[in-house]
Homo-oligomer: A and B are copies of this chain.
């Protein structure tokens, strides 16, 4: 097991990464606050892991709520079902919520914990690659609104993150690929060595070689923890974690939540960001090709669906959280391993990127 830490003002919490962590009861215990625990999971994950998790919690009063699986359920209605469960029990202010699942479960459980009685404890137990490398770390919680992704939420940190890489054995290939989009992202924004390692080891990851997976997860989490520790509330540098997300969120919202996986939309978004960087003269043609190729090799899409026309993109991107004083800000690449936050891009080039079909 490897332990990393997120260090933010007044708080420090661990990320435990390793195989078989779901079977280590001593790991969870110090992070549970009171006597009551509510495990939040979904109908796909729960059959595999909820009993194993719950068997470690013998000394607690454990409740559970199983959500439907999919981005289309990450909304205020589902959030309400968690509040209902908490109040019907009733759970007090010392309750600890445990998010057992992927990014949707983690985001909604974290936001429920942020709001219930104005804030209770929660623990992230991510079971997908995407959640293990990205969404479970850093305290961004949210639900979607029909007009925009992650528009309602809070910065609210978990007490710990427990990433059992063993859980990836039951992950669908499509979900593994979606997680790889965020893994590749760390290489692109600030870690060229990792990008090069991924170019060399992608096949091992796709074969689910445990050592390769563990290394990729640890290195991703270290990158994430470093950035979050510098800028918890995204006043500055943390925004580079959103590489590809402005385009990606537009695709997710535009196509209807759940049609594209978040990682798939981000994959296309990253290629679009690389494309705009290339058109802006920042990224060479050969480096753009390396980006596109790695994403393609991960089994991810590299072009937006035809439904996403230029005006549709522009409409949806206008509600992005990175819009500032009416001006869209994008995360672009000055190089592989070097992202910048920019509102200084040519609108004509942006339109070319939005209209790009391939190549």
Contact = CB atoms under 8 A, between A and B. Distances in A.
A115 interface: yes
Contact of A90 (B87, B92, B115, B318): B318
Interface stretch (A149-157, A168-176, A216-224): A149-157
A325 to B, nearest CB: 6
Contacts of A83: 145, 151-152
Contacts of A325: 34-35, 92, 94
A33 B148 CA distance: 22
Nearest to A154: B118
A88 interface: yes
A129 B308 CA distance: 52
Number of contact residues on A: which range applies? 35 or more
Total copies of the chain: 2
A250 interface: no
A342 interface: no
Given A87-B145, A87-B147, A319-B87, A115 B34 contact: no
A135 B76 CA distance: 25
A70 interface: no
A114 interface: yes
A115 B147 contact: no
Interface string A99-119: 000000000000000111111
Interface in A113-167: 114-119, 140, 142, 145, 147-148, 150-155
A52 interface: no
B76 A80 contact: yes
A10 B115 CA distance: 22
Contacts of A88: 147
A323 B93 contact: yes
A336 to B, nearest CB: 29
A117 B147 contact: no
Contact of A323 (B80, B92, B233): B92
Contacts of A142: 118
A153 B112 CA distance: 10
Nearest to A34: B325
A321 interface: yes
A11 interface: no
Interface in A309-356: 318-319, 321-326
A118 B140 contact: yes
A85 to B, nearest CB: 11
B87 A148 contact: yes
B145 A324 contact: no
A88 B147 CA distance: 8
A325 B322 CA distance: 42
Contacts of A87: 145, 147-148, 151, 319
Q: What 3 A-B pairs have minimum CB-CB distances, sorted nearest first?
A: A87-B147, A90-B319, A92-B323
14 contacts: A34-B324, A83-B151, A84-B147, A87-B147, A88-B147, A90-B148, A90-B318, A92-B325, A93-B322, A93-B323, A114-B154, A118-B140, A118-B155, A118-B233
Given A90-B319, A117-B151, 10 more contacts: A34-B325, A84-B145, A87-B151, A87-B319, A90-B323, A92-B324, A93-B322, A94-B325, A115-B154, A119-B154
